[in-house]
Amino acid sequence: MAAPQPGAVRPGGRTARVREAVLRAAGDALVEKGFDALDLAEIARVAEVGKTTVYRRWGTPGTLAADLLDEMAESSLPRARTGSVDQDLRDNARLVVKTLTDPRQGRLFKALIAASLCNEQAAQALYRFYAVRIDEWAGCVTDAVERGELPAGTDPRRVIAAVSAPLYYAFLNTGEPLNDAAADRAAAGALAAARAGIFSR
């Protein structure tokens, strides 16, 4: 059986506290200086953790950034269950906007996205992050199909991806305001497309 990747083990106790301290320090460093300045020895110093421990468990800045993304996916809020696909998708879009406009989380996401462009480990972790979050919220669409709100055969993952796509585009490319109105437009657009059968398998 293959050995687990560095940073992949999730034990409790002291090891969990070490991981929490290191990931917090790594997040602070990414927000302040970006991925290029992510130095494991400095992270160990700030987290007050032995340098050997950090190098043994994570090994590279890419692995550390990847573990941070995995932790963010694990700790993200669960999906809405309002009983209305319209409200569920709006809640999803507003959560994305809230995250991206948060003074810390927004800068952290930009740093991690930048890291993914030059580091394969960070890129794979970013793919996993999006997959985890889309899978979590896909249940909203599955429920809507069962209630008859959306056509049979609608692809839940594509609908959820369509909700967040324009928000991330504005965040990274256009600089357009991200607010509740933008969230509601994104949700409405994805919902209209889904009702029209655009996302049918």
Give yes or no for residue 1 having a pLDDT over 90: no
Residue 171 CA to residue 116 CA, distance in Å, equals 16
Binned at pLDDT 50, 70 and 90, residue 14 comes out as confident
The partner residues of 154 in beta bridges, in order of sequence, read 200
pTM (2 d.p.): 0.85
Q: How far is CA 92 from CA 60, 97, 147, 173, 186, in A?
A: 33, 9, 19, 21, 10
What the chain holds in terms of domains, given with CATH numbers, is 13-61 (1.10.10.60), 76-195 (1.10.357.10)
34-91 pLDDT, tens per residue? 888 889 999 999 999 999 999 999 999 999 999 999 898 888 888 999 999 999 999 9
Question: Percent of the chain beyond pLDDT 70?
Answer: 94
- Report the distance separating Cα 158 and Cα 187, nearest Å: 13
Provide the token pair at 38: 């992510």
In the chain, what are the helix, strand and coil shares in percent, each to the nearest 5?
A: 75, 0, 25
